[in-house]
Amino acid sequence: MSNSVLSTEHLDKTKLAELDKYIAGLENKQEAIIHILHRGQEIFGYLPKELQLYIARKADLPAAKVNGIVSFYSFFSQEPSGQYQISICLGTACFVKGADAIIKEFRSQLDMADKRVSDDGRFSIRDVRCVGACGLAPVVVINEKIYGHVGTDDVAGIIEQYRGAEG
């Protein structure tokens, strides 16, 4: 990640103030970098490169290191998500129980062949590694809610719960 072409001045000031407040309360900002990134993602919804740079400066870490952390962990997103983030576990236990068919079914039902976010911005799909609920494989997480033992037949019903939901 190059620092020179990035500017943090377009980031939302109110959200930055909230993040600053969180960071100010931390004793060791470098050790807490994962927590800071989590908080940043909670506040902004995702971690654009500009925000990574801002956080890197605040924590006095190289931007490339922060970007490496964000890229490594699948729970961090560098792109905006839909209102409902559908995370499909492709860890080993879920994969052997057919998670790849589940992801295809979500993509087909939502008409999102290669798209990360649906045209109306309501849904985004991503695959994640083991979410620690292997006993429930295959597992789908939508925002904070976990669905276990999901079969392709369940996908339409799950989507319906969110299609009908108010924004």
94 contacts ligand FES (rule: CB under 6 A): yes
Answer whether 47's CB lies under 8 Å from 76's CB: yes
How many positions of this chain bind ligand FES (CB under 6 A)?
A: 12
Could you say which of 93, 98, 104, 115 contacts ligand FES (CB under 6 A)?
Answer: 93
Helix extents (H) in the chain: 13-24, 33-44, 49-59, 63-72, 92-96, 99-109, 155-163
Could you say which of 40, 48, 82, 91 contacts ligand FES (CB under 6 A)?
Answer: 91
Give the span between the Cα atoms of 95 and 88, in whole angstroms.
10
- By CB under 6 A, the residues from 117 to 136 that bind ligand FES are 130-134
CB of 146 to ligand FES, least distance (A): 9
Q: By CB under 6 A, which span of 1-9, 14-22, 31-39, 92-100 interacts with ligand FES?
A: 92-100
Answer whether 66's CB lies under 8 Å from 33's CB: yes
Could you say which of 110, 139, 141, 158 contacts ligand FES (CB under 6 A)?
Answer: 139
137 contacts ligand FES (rule: CB under 6 A): yes
Cα four-point dihedral sign 96, 102, 108, 112: negative
Q: Pick between residue 22 and residue 95 the one whose CB is nearest to ligand FES.
A: 95
Q: Report the alpha-carbon angle 114-157-89, nearest 5.
A: 50
Site string for ligand FES, 38-77 (x = CB under 6 A): ----------------------------------------
User: Which pair of tokens denotes residue 141?
Assistant: 């997480």
> Interface residues with ligand FES (CB under 6 A)?
89, 91-94, 130-134, 137, 139
